[in-house]
Structure 1
Amino acid sequence: MGIIYHNKPEMKSPILLAAWPGIGNVGIITLATLRDQLGAGVLADIEPEEFFYPAGVNIKNGVQQELRFPLSRFYYQQWCGQDIVIFMGDEQPADGQNTYAQGSRAYNMANRVLDVAEELGCQRIITFGAAVTMTHHKIKPKVWAVANNKKFLNTIQERMPAELKSSLAGKNFVANISGLNGLLLGVANKRNMSAACLMGEIPDYLSHLPLVYPHASRSTLEALRYVIRISVDLFRMDESVKEVDEMIADMYSRFPELVRQKLDNRFHTNENRGISDDDEKWLKENINDFFKKDHNQNEHGS
């Protein structure tokens, strides 16, 4: 078991773009949008049995057809003179009941993806995810870029316009990227492969919800456009952004009035400048309480 190739075109210095499900499904939406725009075709699949339990069994006319597993699939297209390989995983392999990749299965999956990247001659790797920040849903999400070496990070920072760069980039703190979107960078570093992760900002109060956030995906796709210098139509995402905006507005209206007022201060004071640490601590506690109560009410049907 290993890799099943459906096609193997000749490539010149391809770049690998990879994503798995995560908060707001920011990475998956980014690459699904890009794949569809490029008309990328199926390149290869990672055989699933080593990493996943069956998600179900397909039945036709009362007869079992096949076991259904999550896909771990590579796509390919040449665009604007750049060979682009896109990898998308339906699910993150994990030991136990964890949502995000963890343990030997995750590490082996990261290595399997990089085996393909090396075989195809990929020189650079970019993954995608969400950066949970104290922002507001009416503020255009910015993008936080991290990399496994300074040279690649400098290249990304030089190409990305200032208005897209997250303020997180200038802060001196230690952070963690959950799951394979981050793990892939570390495993790539062991192979001396340059890798980075582009993370679109998502408001902290939305990270509690099982909600997609195409707003952040639109920003990461815009950042990618500058980083690898390709042409991408961002307006195709506007309809999905509008649909999610309506759901966010409904959820936001259910917050207590004082919570809404303090959150709106983030928007009115230019992306959180002027918001006190005490107010942010108060918001965190009250938002957590709100979602706990909301969860309990839904469980009891009241």
Structure 2
Amino acid sequence: MGERLHDPWLVAVWPGMGTVAMGAGYYLMAKLGMHLWEELPARDLFEVDHVDVKDGLIQVAPLPRSRLFLWKDPQHHHDLIVFIGEAQPTAKSALICHQLIDLVVPLGVTRVFTFAAMATPMRPGDHGRVFGAAIDRGTLARFKDLDLTVLEGGQINGLNGVLLGVAAEQGMQGGCLLGEMPQLFSQLPYPKASLSVLEFFATLAGIKIDLTELESHAQDVEKKLETFLTRIEQAIHQVEGSTESAVPQPDEDDDEKKKPKLNAEDRQHLDQLFAEAKQDRTRAYFLKQELDRLKVFREYEDRFLDLFKSPGGA
């Protein structure tokens, strides 16, 4: 690596419910101005299980990528390594976890954290809690000191849990932070839970993160979902006794499905945002919001992550 790290912590995220983990991971990477450090070989972790068809021609689908990003804390509290996996392998989950731990242990990483979501009957307007489960008693005590809601029982599915099991076998410390979100909207992105997780993690790690953009985004989504839920409840009261069982998705979801492909104005707008983010990496999260809004993040993902390929920037 060629860089000496100061008490580095590993944070690992994969896709999951409410995009809570990925939302927090991308925001952390963007706002801290991290740079790409390493990438795990995709062919060691994933098998090709389908091909894409476009205009009648078969194209080999790209394998999901697994990348690590680095941030050196100017205050020398904790340097951070953030791992972002585009997908969770179904057959080689232990392998990727062992590879990841083997990669970071020589760098001095002793603490590992994963982010996830916790679906409850809460409403969008309710205060969102952060649940947690720790590898070690020291971290658990710290969680309690910071008033985190301890996960008393249950399971943590997927690599969010498997990685911590591997870390525990290595005698490491850390745990999983789960942002609370409404069960009713578990299939929709819920940035408020990502915000709660990052607020807690920043306090835990003793680092400063500008959360302004995420707060604004979370409030906007929260208002839309609360309005939608209220409208559904009113409709149910009006047709009480009806046998209708289907619950429609929010209007904005339908609108997104009807969006046309990017026009020249949209592409020009995105090019401008890319230029701004290249000069100031803290603008990258706003860029990602626009890519998500236009439903083209997958198309632009490599270009987006290229912004973080070298040290420097904001």
Q: Quick check: 2:15–2:87 contact (8 Å CA) kept in 1?
A: yes
Q: Of residues 50, 63, 66 in structure 1, which corresponds to 2:44?
A: 50
Q: Quick check: 2:131–2:179 contact (8 Å CA) kept in 1?
A: yes
Q: Figure out how many residues of one structure are paired with residues of the other and give that number.
A: 238
State the Cα RMSD in Å. 2.8
Q: Is 1:206 matched with 2:200? A: no
Partner of 1:136: 123
The one-letter amino acid paired with 2:184 is: Y
How far does residue 128 in structure 1 lie from its aligned partner after superposition? 0.4
- Output the CA distance in 2 between the equivalents of 1:57 and 1:294: 30
Post-superposition CA distance 1:118-138 (Å, at most 9, x none): 122201011100112232210
Q: Of residues 162, 165, 170 in structure 2, which corresponds to 1:183?
A: 162
Q: Aligned to 1:255, what secondary structure does the other structure show?
A: helix
Q: Is 1:154 matched with 2:148? A: no
Q: Is 1:118 matched with 2:105? A: yes
Q: Is 1:196 matched with 2:162? A: no
Post-superposition CA distance 1:57-103 (Å, at most 9, x none): 799xx9x8x862211100001123121111111111103xxxxxxxx
1:270-285 mapped onto 2 (5 Å cutoff): none
Partner of 2:11: 17
TM-score by length of 2: 0.68
Q: Is 1:91 matched with 2:87? A: yes
Cα 1:200–1:254, aligned 2, differ >3 Å: closer, same or farther? same
TM-score by length of 1: 0.71
Partner of 1:239: 216
- Output the CA distance in 1 between the equivalents of 2:25 and 2:236: 34
Q: Aligned to 1:152, what secondary structure does the other structure show?
A: helix
How far does residue 238 in structure 1 lie from its aligned partner after superposition? 2.5
Cα 1:106–1:204, aligned 2, differ >3 Å: closer, same or farther? same
Higher relative contact order (CA 8 A, sep 6+): 2
Q: Is 1:109 matched with 2:105? A: no
- Output the CA distance in 2 between the equivalents of 1:255 and 1:114: 46
The one-letter amino acid paired with 1:48 is: A
Q: Is 1:74 matched with 2:53? A: no
Structure 1 gaps of 5+ residues are 1-6, 96-104, 261-288, 296-302
Post-superposition CA distance 1:256-294 (Å, at most 9, x none): 44979xxxxxxxxxxxxxxxxxxxxxxxxxxxx94x565
The one-letter amino acid paired with 1:15 is: W
1:162-181 mapped onto 2 (5 Å cutoff): 162=147, 165-166=148-149, 169=150, 173-181=152-160
Q: Aligned to 1:192, what secondary structure does the other structure show?
A: coil
- Output the CA distance in 1 between the equivalents of 2:135 and 2:223: 38
Partner of 1:269: none
How far does residue 244 in structure 1 lie from its aligned partner after superposition? 2.1
Q: Aligned to 1:49, what secondary structure does the other structure show?
A: helix
Q: Quick check: 1:16–1:86 contact (8 Å CA) kept in 2?
A: yes
- Output the CA distance in 2 between the equivalents of 1:116 and 1:83: 16
Post-superposition CA distance 1:220-262 (Å, at most 9, x none): 00001110100111212123214423542454145344979xx
Q: Quick check: 1:147–1:195 contact (8 Å CA) kept in 2?
A: yes
- Output the CA distance in 2 between the equivalents of 1:51 and 1:254: 45
Cα 1:294–1:136, aligned 2, differ >3 Å: closer, same or farther? closer
Cα 1:235–1:13, aligned 2, differ >3 Å: closer, same or farther? same
- Output the CA distance in 1 between the equivalents of 2:2 and 2:160: 25
How far does residue 9 in structure 1 lie from its aligned partner after superposition? 2.0
The one-letter amino acid paired with 1:16 is: L
- Output the CA distance in 1 between the equivalents of 2:226 and 2:51: 35
The one-letter amino acid paired with 1:238 is: E
Q: Quick check: 1:44–1:73 contact (8 Å CA) kept in 2?
A: yes
- Output the CA distance in 2 between the equivalents of 1:156 and 1:58: 48
The one-letter amino acid paired with 1:144 is: F
Q: Of residues 132, 136, 141 in structure 2, which corresponds to 1:145?
A: 132
